[in-house]
Structure 1
Amino acid sequence: GVLCVVVVLHHFYCGFHPCLVFGDAAAWLFDPLVCDRAHPYGLDHPIYFLLAPFGNGPFAVAVFFVMSGVVLSNSLLESDDVPEKLRHAIAKRYFRLAIPCAVALVFAYLLGGFHVHETVASMTQSKWLHMFNSRRPSPLGLIEQALFGVWHGTSTLNNAIWTMSMELFG
């Protein structure tokens, strides 16, 4: 639960406070003057210092992967027939991951057609948010992404889908 909240905060910061995530080191992503206007107190203000650790999404994802690996490994080690349990777990896992991914991609496809993210990205100067739905597939391409692209990390509709190949094969 806590790791999920951290990832959500990270995505919020990327979209609405990009300077907080990318800082001056990534000035090539956006105009540094925009950072000054978006954060009138400056990035060294204590509030940003206090909020930043709660938005470290990459770290939260790494911790989640480690925890997931430990739990999955332990469940296999407790089995008498490891190969059979592994086959069963992979088949079950595929459908448990594939259905929510397909729903998320259809949802992103439908919402992306309104281009609201582009309006918000221009207001916040978030190149990260502007990239969403940048290569909108055809309806047939959507089906291909839902069935196969998810497992190769090639989704153009939902950038969080990259984790699915790790979660399935990891």
Structure 2
Amino acid sequence: MQHSSKLNAVESIRGLACLAVVFSHLSLSFYPYLHHFDDHDQATNALVYWIHHSPFTFWYSGTAAVYVFFVLSGFILSYVIGNSRVPKQKIKSMLIKRYPRLAIPALISCILLWAALYFSDIDSSQVQYWLQVLAQQNSSFGQAIYEGTIGSFLFAESSVNWVLWTMQVELIGSVVLFALLYLKQYSSGLFLTLVLMFPLSFALFKNMDLYLGLISFLLGSLIFFYGRRIASNAWAWLLLALGLYLAGAHNSSLAYQGIYQFLGDKTYDYCNFISGSLIVYSILMSPLLSRMLDRPVFVYLGKLSFSVYLLHLMLLYIVCLPVFNYCVQHGFNYDSAFMVASLVFLVAILICSDIYSRVVDRFAIFISNKLAQYWAGA
């Protein structure tokens, strides 16, 4: 398989996963029964009820999507270091770059969301509880600065921009992986032993999200170094189908009651966690599936994915919510208003994320590269 095809597939997976996060938050804002996290959630119509209890809910599984992100991060960081002629120097350079590369876009997104909430008061009475809480939060500017620079990265604190809890996994996962890859330059056996033993450290973690996220990082690295090409297209499709099925797991869904009998309330967490690695492995190790995802529109979406991820809650508040209110006020029923608001929201996400990627992301990359040149000579 050509390296370009595989790397484009990585971008495509990331872009599609980011869409799943957006759809997840749309569903929580307007049709919470699709997730049914709360016993008080009610199905507003037969279609919503059917979707929740079907095995086809992967397309709005935000939790599975973030595990896909973590596996991809482990894979791509390992790819860059593994293909470097000077891996030790590359590790040092990437270690220096990692925090500013993540923190600059995260901080600015936090400030933008805080400003949107602070300087406006958009009516949220027509939407569901999840979006109401977002719209009515009362955070300070100092809290936005703190979470965008320290809180989310060290402690997964994300009371302003809720999605920033993943920055803790991205930063700590990167540092752990860099350390292990540095050891790999001396002993591949030691690297593999430490990676395989890492799951035994569960007692050290109070935060299960961090624990499973770090394992996902390491699984991504293992896929790069030890993953084997899936020769059979049928097996690749079956593995992908299993991953997508597990990605849609909800504890109350009838389609997952067989698994729930064994895992109980951990069904949602464990199935979504496992799905991330299955989806990534099935696509990246299959020439057919990698080529299928090597499409310009998917690759473009992947390049915008970090910006989409950081900005979509702000745009949910300042674009989707007022458009929905406008439609309701002008005679649209709930479902029609949701459809119109969602379409406008998705267009706004693409436009704003493209600008954010060109301006903020590029600035973060520029600063990261300058710091690496100064401190590591790379």
| TM-score, structure 2 normalization | 0.37
Do structure 1's residue 87 and structure 2's residue 89 form an aligned pair? no
> Structure 2 matches for 1:118-157, cutoff 5 A?
119-120=123-124, 122-126=125-129, 128-132=130-134, 134=137, 136-137=139-140, 139-152=141-154, 153-157=156-160
Instruction: Describe the superposition over 1:118-166 as per-residue Cα deviations: whole angstroms up to 9, x where unpaired.
Output: x43x42332x3233363512x3333222221131211210110011121
Aligned equivalents of 1:46, 1:160: Cα separation in 2: 25
Aligned equivalents of 1:50, 1:158: Cα separation in 2: 30
Partner of 2:35: 21
Aligned equivalents of 2:109, 2:153: Cα separation in 1: 14
Change (3 A) 1:164 1:46: closer
Deviation at 1:16, TM superposition (A): 1.3
Deviation at 1:67, TM superposition (A): 1.7
Instruction: Describe the superposition over 1:20-60 as per-residue Cα deviations: whole angstroms up to 9, x where unpaired.
Output: 1126xx21xxx44xx24xx1336434698487331011112
> Structure 2 matches for 1:3-82, cutoff 5 A?
3-22=17-36, 26-27=38-39, 31-32=40-41, 35-36=42-43, 39-41=44-46, 43-45=48-50, 49=54, 52-82=57-87
Contact 1:94 1:168 in 2 (8 A): yes
User: Comparing both chains, which one has the higher relative contact order based on Cα–Cα distances under 8 Å and sequence gaps of 6 or more?
Assistant: 2
Identity of aligned residues (%): 28
* Aligned match for 2:169, one of 161, 166, 170: 166
Aligned equivalents of 2:132, 2:142: Cα separation in 1: 24
Change (3 A) 1:67 1:147: closer
Aligned equivalents of 1:46, 1:19: Cα separation in 2: 9
Gap regions ≥5 residues in structure 1 = none
How many pairs were matched up? 156
Structure 2 SS opposite 1:136? coil
Considering only aligned residues, what root-mean-square deviation do their CA atoms show, in Å? 2.5
What amino acid does structure 2 have at the position aligned with 1:40?
A: N
Partner of 2:176: none
Instruction: Describe the superposition over 1:100-132 as per-residue Cα deviations: whole angstroms up to 9, x where unpaired.
Output: 11111011101122243xx43x42332x32333
Gap regions ≥5 residues in structure 2 = 1-14, 174-378
Deviation at 1:7, TM superposition (A): 1.1
Change (3 A) 1:81 1:108: same
